[in-house]
Amino acid sequence: MNLEQLEAALMPYEKRLREQERFRRWLGVKEVDSPTYERYITGPVEQFDRRKDAFNLLLPDNPFGEETRQRFKARTGSESRAPLPYHELDIGARIGQSLTQATWRLCRDYHPPTLPVTPPEGRLEVTDRAWMSRLVKKAALFYGAEAVRIARIDRRWVYKDIDVPYEYAVIAVVSHVREFIKSAPSHMSSAAVPDTYSRLKVITTQLADFICGLGYEAAYHESVGPDSKLNLVPIAIDAGVGEFARTGRVLSPEFGINMRIQAVMTNLPLQADRPISFGVHDFCMACESCATYCPANAVPFGPPTEQPLGIYNNPGFRKWYINAERCLTFWSANKKEWTSCGGRCISVCPWNKPQVPFHNLARWLAVHSPGAVKKALVSADQRMYKRTHKIKKG
């Protein structure tokens, strides 16, 4: 196969990349030199100790988590987030929980070693980083990513005392099944989350193998479980996936916060993408839907603050700090109806819409209109979709 044949075979993915670039240009997304979170850094940023991550605090042997575990037990009556036995569930919940557990398996239990790195005599020498970056992106789309961007790894976002001997993170994005996530909290929305992680595991393990085949070190990143190495939110922002939003998530022009991200770390010579700016901070200031409809009251209202809420928050920023403990406690509050919230904050976000002309027009207004129009858009969204505080009680 010659290079022309290869390029022709990959042309559908090249077209998708061009479409995504066209869409961002049309929307008025600006590429900027420095990520927009930089203006909210107020103090020294220390590398975060991953043992203080809210999920990890619940692990029985975590020395930082004693108090968190006691509160969790007092509020939920259980020591862990383990689901209920099936015989305690009604028929719909049995099916929903079984769907969820099946989607967890791959991302939680599949940890293959990467294929051997091709030795120097077979290595593909990189003479054009831009071309190689494009190739890697097309490969990621081929493996199933819905979007892909590249960041140089900023050491501030590597967890404390963790060695990451790689220069770049290739960030793959996939979106939640919208029909599932919109029922949050439910067993179906619970299933939507590990479904994305498992798809990302398939994508990133293959992408890491592909890069090793080219002759360069690469490793897929684990963000489920205690072995994660990178704080992916700022790295995805560095890569230009999106900007920081009220929920503590990355909000992208295409998917809003209705997406999950995962990384392949590598030393393949690449060209990093630039961060983007499209007014997410201003929109989140005009919109509090995630805070309004979060059943756990875990998402803050009002402007960002400099006050972390617990050891699971990394200080040094003026930002929207999420009360992760309330969020996780809520997940286990009613195991008959859900095993995790799945993200009601995600389902009610006005940016969580398909990319069709009507919603694209609303996106354009969200970016370019003054605060009063932004508020009107949020209000229209809440009325049109009949947002309600009510959740299904078991």
Interface residue with ligand SF4, options 288, 310, 375, 387 (CB under 6 A): 288
H or E segment to which residue 276 belongs: strand 276-277
Residues 209-248 that bind ligand SF4 (CB under 6 A): 245-247
Of 179, 172, 178, 219, nearest to 197 by C-alpha is 172
Q: Which is nearer to ligand SF4, 114 or 252 (CB)?
A: 252
- Which segment (11-19, 100-108, 127-135, 296-304) binds ligand SF4 by CB under 6 A? 296-304
Binding mask 312-351 for ligand SF4 (x = CB under 6 A): ---------------x--x----------x-xxx---xxx
Q: From the CB of 242, what's the least distance to ligand SF4, in Å?
A: 10
d(CA 93, CA 312): 31
Phi, psi of 251 (to 5 degrees): -110, 120
- Pairwise CA distance, residues 328 & 78, whole Å: 12
C-beta separation of 330 from 344 below 8 A = no
What single letter denotes the amino acid at residue 104? W
State which residue, 154 or 288, has the beta carbon closest to ligand SF4.
288
Which residue in the block uniquely carries the two structure tokens 């809003």?
A: 256
CB of 261 to ligand SF4, least distance (A): 15
**Does residue 198 belong to the site contacting ligand SF4 (CB under 6 A)?**
no
Alpha-helical (H) ranges within the chain are: 3-9, 11-27, 54-57, 66-76, 91-109, 129-143, 178-181, 187-214, 232-238, 280-286, 289-293, 324-331, 344-347, 357-368, 371-384
Q: Does 252 bind ligand SF4 (CB under 6 A)?
A: no
Query: Using the rule CB under 6 A, is 114 a contact of ligand SF4?
Result: no
**Contact with ligand SF4 (CB under 6 A): which of 132, 287, 367, 377?**
287
Segment lying near ligand SF4 (by CB under 6 A), choices 11-19, 50-58, 90-98, 288-296: 288-296
Q: In whole angstroms, what is the distance from residue 186 CA to residue 203 CA?
A: 27
Work out which of 289, 313, 314, 339 binds ligand SF4, going by CB under 6 A: 289
Positions touching ligand SF4 (CB under 6 A) are 245-247, 251, 257, 283-284, 287-290, 294-296, 298-299, 327, 330, 341, 343-345, 349-351
